[in-house]
Amino acid sequence: MKQFLHLWVPIFLSNAIIMLSGLFDVIFLSHFSSQHVAAMAVCLSIYSLCFVSGIGILQGMMQELAEAKGRQAFSDIQRIVKQGVLIVLIVSVFAAWLFTHATPLLNLLKADDELQALITPCLMLMAWIIPGHLLLRILYILTQTCGQAKRVFYANILYLIFKVLLGYCLIFGIEGYIAAYGVQGAFISSLIIQWLMLFIYYFVFLEKKLRIQWSGTFLHWATLVKILRIGVPNGIVTFVDVFAVSAIALLILPLGDIVINSHQIMLGLLGLMFMVPLSMGSAFSILVSTKIGAEHIESAWQLSKKAVVVVLSIGLCLASFVWIFQRWIIALFSGDQQVLAVAFSLMMLVCWMHIFDAILVISVNMLRCWKEVVLPMFIFTTTVLVLGLGGGWYIAYHPISFMNIDFNALGIYGFWWMLAIAYTVAACLCLLCLSLKYRYYIRRT
C-alpha cells in the first residue's frame, strides 16, 4: 500500500490540477459571457476527442514502460519513449487537420455565425496546442512509471499558477496594456504555457538519465507494434468515452445557453471526480505491470483484486460526499440561478454515473495489464454509443411511451439518464470479464 500511495497521491494531485486549470477557464468565462462559455464547450468537446485518443494510445506505452522497469531493461525504456514521440507526431497531424477543417461540423450542429466567429480562431490555436500537450504527457508518463511521480506534481503546480494568472489576464484583459480576448485568451494562455512547460520539464524536472537519446535508430517496429496492440483498443475506448460525453455539448446547442452552461458545469465536476479513480487506476496499473514484468504473477493478481475493491470504495465515498455538499459545491461554479437550478437537477445522475465510471475504469485498467483489451473495447463502445449516446439523443428530442405511460422529450436529462444506464451496463460487463479472466488463470494453475 505504501508503494501505491507513493504513486497515487502525486498522480491524483497532478490530474486534479490539470482539471482545475480547465475549470478556472470555465469560471472566468462564466463571468465574462455565456456565449464565450458555449464556444469553450464546443472547442473543448472537439479538442478532447483528439487529445484523449492520443492519451489512450500512449497508455500502451505506459504498460510497456512499467514491464520494462520490472525487468530492469533500461535500453527498452529508451526505445518505448521514442515510439511514443512518433505516435504523438502522427496524432497531432491528424488533429491539426481536423481542427482546421471543422466548419462543416459546426454547420451541421447549426452553430450560428456569431458563435462560429468565436470558435474558428480557437480551433486554429488548438492545432498548435495539442503536440506540446501530448509530448509533455509522454514525459509525465515516463517519470511516473520510473517512480518519480512527485516531479510531475511539482511541475503541474507551476503549470496551474502560470495558467490561471495568464488566463485571467488574457480573458479579461488589463486596461491600457492587454485587450480582453475572452475565450480566445483561454486558448492563447494554454498554447504559451503548454510549450513553455514542455521545455522547462525536459531540461529542469526530468533526470538526465531519462532524457531521450536522439542519436541512433528512432523507429523500432517490434516495440511500436507492442504499444499499438494495447494502445489502439484503449485509444478507441477513451475516444468513445469522451465522444459520448462531449458530443452532448454539441447536440444540445439547440437547447440554449442556460442548458449548455449547466451541462458544462456538471461535466467539469464529473471530470474532476473522475480524476480520483483514473489516477488510482494508473497507479495500480503501473504496480501490476511492474510485477508482471518481474514475473510475480500471483502477487500481480492479488493486487488486481485489491485495486477493484479500493477504487469502488473510494468511488462510493466520493459520490456520497458530493451528494451531501452539492449546494456548496455547485454554487462555486456560477452565480446564475437558472443555470444552478438545472445543474442541481442533474446531481443524482452525476453521482450515479461516477460510481460505475469508477468500476469501469479500474476494470478496464486491470484487464489491460493482463493484455485483455479487445473485448472491453467492444463492450464499452457498443453500450455507450448505442445505449448511451444514441438512446440519450432519442429520448432527449422525442416523446416516448413506456408501460402505457407517456413521457415528453426529456431534453438534457435524456442524455444524462441514458449515459448513466450505459456506464452501469458497461462497468458490470467489464468487471465480469475480469472475474472470468482470473478464474481462467486459477484453472490453468
| pLDDT of amino acid 176 | 79
Domain count of the fold of the chain: 1
Mean pLDDT of 53-75: 79
Q: Read off the pLDDT band of 109 (50, 70, 90).
A: low
Report the percentage of the chain scoring pLDDT > 90. 19
Q: Would you say the pTM of this structure is higher than 0.85?
A: no
320: pLDDT strictly greater than 90: yes
Q: Which domain holds residue 38?
A: 2-444
| pLDDT of amino acid 48 | 78
| pLDDT of amino acid 14 | 66
Q: Read off the pLDDT band of 340 (50, 70, 90).
A: confident
| pLDDT of amino acid 1 | 60
3: pLDDT strictly greater than 90: no
| pLDDT of amino acid 110 | 65
| pLDDT of amino acid 113 | 77
Q: What is the pLDDT of residues 117-166, one digit of tens each?
A: 888 899 999 999 999 999 998 988 888 787 777 888 888 888 889 999 99
| pLDDT of amino acid 42 | 80
- List residues bridging with 407 in a β-sheet: 400
Q: What is the pLDDT of residues 178-231, one digit of tens each?
A: 888 888 999 999 999 999 999 999 998 888 877 888 777 788 888 888 888 888
Residue 405, all three cell numbers:
405511460
Task: Give the residue carrying C-alpha cell 514542455.
Answer: 198
Q: What is the pLDDT of residues 408-432, one digit of tens each?
A: 777 888 888 898 999 999 999 999 9
Q: What is the pLDDT of residues 254-285, one digit of tens each?
A: 777 788 778 878 887 887 788 888 888 888 88
Residue 346, all three cell numbers:
442533474
